[in-house]
Amino acid sequence: MKVLIWDFDGTLAHRPGLWSGALLEALSYHVPEHGLSAGHLRPHLQSGFPWHVSDLTRDPIESPDEWWSALEELFVRAYTSEGIADSVAREAARSVRARFVDPHGWHLFEDALPALEAIGESGWTQVVLSNHVPELPGIVAGLGLTRYIGHVFTSAALGAEKPHPAAFQAVLDAHPNADRVIMIGDNVRADIEGARAAGIEAILVRTICEDLESIGDLRELPDRLDRR
């Protein structure tokens, strides 16, 4: 059994502006003439997410609501730090979730589907492992990827963020008969170094790095796997 582990955001798909973009969309709905840009909000989101303390593990969440409620104050502070009234900030913060998890806000990279299809035809079991929201399986399904992806592991549900070994171990535990496992991702620390520390091969994508096995286009990946 061969298992290919995909990172999601930045590897298979992207969301314009990511978190700052979602916060801006939520604010614009409530206050169209707010005068802010994603660039105003981005500096306030550089800490406070679970993956910013990836050396720790947490008890699995009881519900997605629990995960999102822990972030609400972070969103409120981002807004109020830029002059948005507290009452408006709280209303906008509560609506960030709906925008972020909407599959229509996410876009597949043009090389994602050709790679997924070719690798699946080569007999690989493909899964996603991502530092992401509880609703990631729904986003993956909404993008039409369930025909290629057998399982979606999201850190929100696991209680462990890459590069913590526990995140990778969850995938290994779910595929005890795998005799070959490879991680594919765009983040050197979370995806590549994390996988290697867990005893998993890894290939960096979208960035060419002389010190690491890397490719710039996912369409190169099937041939690379065949040659290994």
Same domain, 78 and 132: no
C-alpha span between 11 and 155 (Å, rounded): 16
In angstroms, the first-to-last Cα distance of the chain is: 15
Q: Model confidence over 188-227: pLDDT tens digits?
A: 999 999 999 999 999 999 998 888 999 999 999 999 998 8
What pLDDT was estimated at residue 194? 97
Domain of residue 123, residue span: 2-14+106-227
Q: Please tell me the total count of domains within the chain.
A: 2
What pLDDT was estimated at residue 205? 97
What φ, ψ does residue 210 adopt, rounded to 5°? -65, -30
Q: Which residues pair with 185 in a beta bridge?
A: 204
Same domain, 126 and 216: yes
**pTM of this prediction?**
0.95
Same domain, 111 and 213: yes
Structure tokens at 163: 């590069």
Q: Model confidence over 41-75: pLDDT tens digits?
A: 999 999 999 999 988 898 878 899 999 999 999 99
Q: Model confidence over 74-106: pLDDT tens digits?
A: 999 999 999 999 999 999 999 999 999 999 999
